[in-house]
Amino acid sequence: MVEIELDGQKVEVPAGSMVMHAAEKAGTYIPHFCYHKKLSIAANCRMCLVDVEKAPKPMPACATPVTQGMIVRTKSDKAIKAQQSVMEFLLINHPLDCPICDQG
């Protein structure tokens, strides 16, 4: 078992788990689009960016493995700004052909 600190709360998860799993265990919601526990990890959408102490830039929670003593912040200014920037980028670049889109 690996113990990390997530938003000031100690969370213990199995070795090899991702930050997203630790957040789920702690009851902390991290926004995401492409992550699903039954699918392989793609980390394409980048909506799950979190602030990991000693990391030079925000890291995707779905693809970042936990390490002993890791300190993660999901509600820091850095994390919130990164998530907002990703959402803005997705909205700006999303095509407006919803009636004919395959996903629609």
Q: What's the average model confidence in pLDDT over 66-75?
A: 94
CATH architecture of 2-94: Roll (3.10)
Buried b (16+ CB within 10 A) or exposed e, 9-21: eebebeeebbbbb
Q: How many CB atoms lie within 10 A of CB 37?
A: 10
**Binning pLDDT at 50, 70 and 90, where does residue 37 land?**
confident
pLDDT of residue 7: 92
In this structure, the strands spanning 2-6 and 71-73 are parallel
Contact yes or no for 45/26 (Cβ under 8 A): no
Reference 30, options 38, 40, 18, 13; nearest CA is: 18
pTM score, two decimals?
0.82
pLDDT of residue 96: 75
Compute the mean pLDDT over every residue in the chain, rounded to the nearest whole number.
Answer: 89
